[in-house]
């Protein structure tokens, strides 16, 4: 099955550790492609030229990891990072995450301030965005989402805020 990688990631391909580079397309086993899509780091492609496998050293370079984590921040966008007027470009159709959070959310890969991140969307934001961008998240790819307002949520704890998002037609 063919997959375009949105964000570089490491995967086990036929028992061999392989670095999948963001922006490249690979022909991989269906189960692996489904897992990459669910993680939000890949989208299914209809046609592809297989990329050659490269030998990668095992393990994680801790200095690289900590430097990248501090410079790029977390993979998920936090409301504390957001301001009214911020925009995201949708990179993929996303997936429904029933496991990471307390209730299901639509999680979509986006480009935010030059970095590929995941945006977690609740029902109200999804419904608002769908009115402008389409009733299927695949229709959103390549389009923009904007923060139209930031609201304080006093019953949720210290400094909890909610982002009100909308699609940009």
Q: Is 48 exposed, middle or buried (0-12, 13-18, 19+ CB in 10 A)?
A: middle
73-168 belongs to which CATH class? mainly beta
Beta bridge partners, 98, equal none
What are the CA-CA distances from residue 79 to residues 43, 86, 100, 102, 152 (Å)? 25, 11, 17, 17, 11
- Say what the pLDDT of residue 49 is: 46
| Percent of the chain topping pLDDT 90 | 37
Residue 66: strand, helix, or coil: helix
Phi and psi of 90, rounded to 5°? -75, 125
CB neighbourhood size of 41 (10 A): 23
Q: What is the pLDDT of residues 79-115, one digit of tens each?
A: 888 999 999 999 999 999 888 778 889 999 999 998 8
For the cut 60, the answer to whether the pLDDT of residue 18 exceeds it is yes
- Would you say the pTM of this structure is higher than 0.85? no
For the chain, the domains span: 2-44, 73-168
Q: Of the given ranges (26-30, 46-50, 54-58), which has the lowest mean pLDDT?
A: 46-50
């Amino acid at each position: 099955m063919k997959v375009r990688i949105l964000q570089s990631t490491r995967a086990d391909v036929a028992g061999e550790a392989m670095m999948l580079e963001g922006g490249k397309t690979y022909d991989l086993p269906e189960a692996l492609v489904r897992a990459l899509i669910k993680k939000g780091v890949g989208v299914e492609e209809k046609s592809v030229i297989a990329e050659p496998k490269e030998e990668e050293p095992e393990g994680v370079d801790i200095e690289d990891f900590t430097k990248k984590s501090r410079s790029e921040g977390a993979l998920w966008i936090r409301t504390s990072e957001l301001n009214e007027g911020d925009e995201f470009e949708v990179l993929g159709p996303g997936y429904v995450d029933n496991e990471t959070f307390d209730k299901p959310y639509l999680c979509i890969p986006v480009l935010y301030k030059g970095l590929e991140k995941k945006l977690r969307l609740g029902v109200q934001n999804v419904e608002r965005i769908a009115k402008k961008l389409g009733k299927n998240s695949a229709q959103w790819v390549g389009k923009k989402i904007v923060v139209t307002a930031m609201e304080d949520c006093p019953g949720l704890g210290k400094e909890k805020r909610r982002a009100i998002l909308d699609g940009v037609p």
